[in-house]
Structures are given as C-alpha cells and as structure tokens.
Amino acid sequence: MSADERRRIAVSDPHGHPAELAAALRAAGLVDDEGAWRGTDARLFVLGDLLDRGPDGIGVIDLVMRLAREAPDSGGEVRSLLGNHEALALGMHDFGPVSDGAPSPRAQTFASSWMRNGGLASDQERLTAGHLDWLRSPPAIILDDDLLLLHSDTVEYLEWGGTVDQINTTVRAALTGGGADESWLCWERLTDRYAFMGEGGAATARDLMATLGGSRIVHGHSIIADLTGVPPPEVTGPWSYADGLVLAIDGGLYAGGPLLVVHI
C-alpha cells in the first residue's frame, strides 16, 4: 500500500491525439465534459510521448499542462515523464535544420529521425517558449513509493547515473544546456526497448529496481500488441509480465489500439 492513499492512475503515449486523451480521461472520471479537472485528489501520471504520430501534439501538451495547473486546487496531481518523442522534438527544435544559429552536424540526423517517427511541422511551428520550458522539465524517471515509473522499457537509464536523482539531473542538463550529441543520446537511449521480455526479463527488472528502487515497474513506449502478438484493436487492458514485476500500459493508440487509463 502506498504511503500516499490518493488514487494513482497512469496513461501513456497519447501521441498527438488530444480529443482521444480528453475522452479517455473523461471516461475515467478525471475530467468533465469541458475537459476541466474533476479527479478530486487523484494522482495522474502521464508516461510520455505526448506528440508525434497524431494530428495535434501541441493540443496534447496544452491539455496536460492545464490539468497539471488545475488538479492541485482539489488535492490532485498531474505529473509527466519525459518520453523519447519529447526528446526528439526538443532536439529537432534546438539542433535541426531550421534551428537558430549555425547548423548542427547532427541537423540532418535529427530531421530524418523526426520525419520517420511521425514528426509534424505544425507542432514544431507552434512550440512556444512556455512549451519548450515545460518539455524540458519532466523527469526521466519517477519513483513513487513501490512504483518505478518509466517511459521506456529499457535499462539504458543507468547510462545517466545510479540513482533516480542522478539520472533525472543528468537528463535535464542534457536537454537544457547540453549540445547536439547529448540531446541525441536522450532520444537514442529512450528509444531502446524490450529489456524485460524473454527468459531473463524478470531478472533484469529485479536488478533495475534493486538499483533504483520500487517493487514494480510501470512503462509505456512499447505497445502491448508488440509485446504480446495481439492485434492492437484487440488490446483491452494493461499487460503484466516478467513474473508480475512489470506492467505495460501503452495500448498503441497510433496503431489502432486503445488509449488506456490504468488504476495502479
């Protein structure tokens, strides 16, 4: 049982679909018909990948930013994690072909990855200073009592440090004051996946939690359909695996699956 008795709820990978995110949160009783927070003291964790692959990443960012402002008025909380697509969008903005200043040697590398992974020019064009500050602020990892909350199902996080605080500090520094190479590493490492699958997956999960804390990992990033072999439209809920130590919650909205809002 968590020391904080408030409800814990997670959603991941809305990927540029603000209407679908609002509808899923409405169905879960977290927002009203106008999209305003009505989750009272619930704690909502958004596990990253707010933009790309869908029509309106900025709309998703604006929705999550607003709910994060509204929720505390009723004792609630909305927190986000850094996803690999946030890292890519920031790299594209800071070091891509149309970034301010001299072109980065990685400009075309960022641009080609961004285009291949569903980046939208309209999202880049609509990024404000406020959006950019907010996108650089989420942690890479949240340790919430017994839960280790990750965007990506990878152990590459450990390349940034041996504690949650070290990892979060290093990643934030890379995205706020680092160069193109540091920014690229954020995208590259957070794109890794499947660390907890297969015969050694449970041992890998145990080792990661022995280092960082927690007794269960919750992640997005790798869609449940790919982890299980079930077609995305047939996904009906999160998937617990690796001896029950890991919970995957990305239903694969962009691939035709559901946007899951999961009570954890």
pLDDT at residue 106, rounded to an integer: 87
Q: Identify the CA nearest to 215 among candidates 238, 242, 239.
A: 242
Q: Which residues contact 199 (CB under 8 A, 6 or more apart)?
A: none
Question: Does 19 map to a domain?
Answer: yes
Query: Is 2 within the bounds of a domain?
Result: no
CA dist 89 and 118 (Å) reads 11
Q: How many domains does the chain have?
A: 1
Contact 160, 167 (CB under 8 A): yes
Quote the pLDDT of residue 5.
72
SS3 state of residue 217: strand
- Tens digits of residue pLDDT in 227-243: 999 999 999 999 999 99
- Whether 209 maps to a domain, the answer reads yes
Residue 173 in domain: yes
| pLDDT tens column, 117-148 | 999 999 999 999 999 999 999 999 999 999 99
Q: Is residue 45 part of a domain?
A: yes
At residue 99, the pLDDT reads 73
The ranges of the chain with pLDDT < 50 are 1-2
Tell me the pairing of strands 239-241 and 246-248: antiparallel
Question: 231: domain range?
Answer: 8-263
* Cα three-residue angle 158-164-168, rounded to 5 degrees: 85
> Strand, coil or helix: what is 73?
helix
Cβ(217)–Cβ(246) under 8 Å? yes
Are 254 and 118 in contact by the 8 Å Cβ rule? The answer is yes
Residue 17 sits in a domain whose CATH number is 3.60.21.10
User: Do the domain assignments include residue 73?
Assistant: yes
Domain assignment present for residue 193? The answer is yes
